[in-house]
Amino acid sequence: MNGLLYIIATPIGNLEDISPRALRVLGDVDFILCEDTRESSKLLNHYGVKKQLVSYHSYSEDKRIPFIIEQLKNGRSIALISDSGTPCISDPGSKLVRACIENEIRVIPVPGPNSLIAALVLSGFEINSFYFEGFIPQKKGRRKKLEEISRRKEMTVFFESPFRIKKLIDELYELCPEREIALCREITKKFEEVIRGAVSDLYKKLDQLIFKGEFVVIINAE
């Protein structure tokens, strides 16, 4: 019989945010696929989970998949985790899930933390629907993408680096100064913060704001 592939969500900051089921599965599988073995070791060591870690990131994904499928066909069960949060969402994993589907190998999700959902809840905006962009371009195509976002009527959510968040506010100030925005950082961590207001208001306070940690950016619906 084929083995099973488990897609396991891990904490986005606070190590307590992991379910008993996730810990049980991590302890039961034959090995664990992870983006960064050093980061994943911190979580596993915290809970005393002793398991082989195999690196699986965007640079090795295509090369790893044949080996993983072979292991699953030989009856081994495997867990996939990311550095934090839920795999496959702006993280590697979707290609592997597709390969499993094509090879009739069962994929089982073990739900848990997700910075996207946590940020939406913290925004204070009415959430009926939203458009998810993932990471917007750093350079090529960035302006075009932001122009598209600024014209969109529905709520839009995307990730941004702390190194580009000031630039982002400058860009949005040119394109949609009166749109409501929420900048969520360090979710579940000690310095968790949500910065809310019109883009123009945040632009005026740029020098007073702290920009550390990866941001989830939410532009409210018009």
Which residue, 79, 110, 141, sits at the end of a domain?
110
Whether residue 24 has pLDDT greater than 90: yes
The pTM assigned to this predicted structure is: 0.92
Give tens-digit pLDDT for 133-151: 999 999 999 999 999 999 9
Domain range holding 153?
115-219
pLDDT in tens, 164-184: 999 999 999 999 999 999 999
In this structure, what CATH number is given to the domain that contains residue 182? 3.30.950.10
Check whether residue 76 and residue 141 sit in a common domain. no
Indicate whether 210 pLDDT > 80: no
Pairwise CA distance, residues 9 & 17, whole Å: 10
Q: How many domains does the chain have?
A: 2
112's CB contacts (< 8 A; 6+ apart) are 8, 9, 10, 11, 17, 18, 19, 22, 86
How far CA 167 is from CA of 116, 146, 150, 162, 211, in Å, comes to: 21, 12, 15, 10, 11
Q: Which of 92, 110, 128 marks a domain boundary?
A: 110
